[in-house]
């Protein structure tokens, strides 16, 4: 695989994983847009997600420590604030993993990777994010989270299995509809990424072992490192941006991205 493709894919994964613009849509469209680029394969996908995972763990190191302590408290059946946060995050992840298993079992994922689907979904859910961002803020967040809020936001992740929806985008949309502030919506969305990426990376790794794909560890290392760096920058950028402006810039980008994909849909699908 060309070095430039590795670099571009790693940066795309790192940046788009935590911004509300859909990493899956961008990763699908990149090889379609460049004729000479082949599919990156499962090893590169796993490496990119590993890099993104370490970025969110490092940036939210305080919350990561809380989740670790919460997991320990859960095993000990010891009530604590950390245990509640751990259980909220873990429970909110279950719906998307269950639906992902159904999608894989029924082989539904390939039919959702169409440029037409990605284009329209990017636009529709971009508009939905804009509408949610106009909802009144009641200053809810991690400090006041309950089972209702955790499960609503968690259930919204199921829609992110459709390329173009964006896992971070739909969870921030749900949180904004619930009255959360933008920074709190973004923070909970990124914390939800931890178990989701862990689980999906685990199953992708199993598939990689079963298929016996060739292991180009140098390429995987490059992708993981670049994905980590770009993801860390994207997270820091997102958290600072949410304190200053609305989600409108991302909405505009999503609409433009969707329109461009729809305009070239025929060529992309044929290529």
Question: What per-residue confidence (pLDDT) applies to 4?
Answer: 85
Determine the average pLDDT of the residues in 129-137.
93
Question: What per-residue confidence (pLDDT) applies to 208?
Answer: 60
Q: Which whole-number Å values give the CA distances from 241 to 233, 250, 270, in the listed order? A: 12, 11, 38
Tokens encoding 270: 């044929």
pLDDT over threshold 60, residue 213: no
Domain span at 65: 3-270
Question: What per-residue confidence (pLDDT) applies to 111?
Answer: 81
**What is d(CA 237, CA 19) in angstroms, rounded to the nearest whole number?**
9
Tokens encoding 175: 């949180």
Question: What per-residue confidence (pLDDT) applies to 113?
Answer: 82
Determine the average pLDDT of the residues in 39-59.
81
Q: Which whole-number Å values give the CA distances from 154 to 76, 187, 188, in the listed order? A: 25, 14, 10
Q: Which residues are CB-contacts of 47 (< 8 A; sequence separation ≥ 6)?
A: 10, 219, 220, 221, 223, 224, 227
Percent of the chain at pLDDT > 70 equals 89
pLDDT band for 6, please (50, 70, 90 cuts). Answer: confident
Structure confidence by residue, pLDDT tens digits, 70-106: 999 999 999 999 999 999 999 999 999 999 889 878 8
pLDDT over threshold 90, residue 155: yes
Can you list the alpha helix ranges (DSSP code H) found in 109-213?
115-133, 147-156, 167-177, 182-211
Structure confidence by residue, pLDDT tens digits, 227-243: 999 999 999 999 999 99
Number of domains the chain is built from: 1
**What is d(CA 195, CA 199) in angstroms, rounded to the nearest whole number?**
6
Q: Is 216 exposed, middle or buried (0-12, 13-18, 19+ CB in 10 A)?
A: middle
pLDDT band for 211, please (50, 70, 90 cuts). Answer: low
Torsion of CA 217, 236, 95, 207, to 10 degrees: 0
Cβ(170)–Cβ(157) below 8 Å: yes
Determine the average pLDDT of the residues in 244-271.
88
Q: What is the mean pLDDT of the chain?
A: 87
Question: What per-residue confidence (pLDDT) applies to 131?
Answer: 97
Determine the average pLDDT of the residues in 49-78.
94
How far from each other are the two terminal CA atoms of the chain, in whole angstroms? Answer: 19
Tokens encoding 61: 């190191």
Q: Is the dihedral of CA 54, 56, 60, 66 positive or negative?
A: negative
């Amino acid at each position: 695989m060309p070095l430039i493709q590795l670099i571009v894919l790693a940066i795309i994964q790192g940046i788009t994983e935590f911004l509300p613009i859909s990493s899956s849509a961008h990763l699908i469209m990149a090889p379609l847009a460049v004729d000479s680029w082949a599919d990156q394969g499962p090893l590169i996908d796993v490496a990119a997600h590993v890099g993104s995972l370490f970025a969110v763990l490092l940036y939210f190191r305080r919350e990561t420590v809380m989740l670790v302590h919460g997991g320990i408290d859960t095993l000990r059946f010891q009530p604590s604030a950390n245990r509640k946060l751990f259980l909220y995050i873990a429970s909110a992840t279950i719906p998307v993993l269950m639906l992902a298993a159904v999608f894989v079992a029924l082989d539904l994922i390939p039919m959702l990777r169409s440029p037409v689907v990605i284009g329209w979904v990017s636009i529709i859910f971009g508009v939905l994010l804009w509408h949610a961002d106009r909802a009144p803020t009641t200053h809810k967040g991690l400090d006041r989270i309950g089972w209702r809020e955790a499960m609503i936001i968690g259930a919204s992740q199921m829609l992110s299995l459709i390329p173009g929806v964006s896992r971070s985008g739909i969870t921030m949309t749900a949180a904004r509809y619930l009255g959360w502030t933008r920074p709190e919506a973004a923070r909970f969305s990124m914390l939800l990424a931890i178990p989701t990426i862990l689980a999906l990376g685990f199953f992708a790794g199993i598939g990689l072992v079963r298929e016996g794909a060739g292991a180009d560890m140098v390429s995987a290392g490059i992708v993981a490192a670049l994905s980590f760096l770009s993801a860390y920058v994207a997270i820091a950028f997102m958290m600072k941006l949410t304190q200053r402006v609305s989600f409108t810039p991302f909405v505009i980008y999503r609409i433009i991205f969707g329109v461009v994909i729809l305009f070239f849909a025929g060529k992309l699908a044929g290529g």
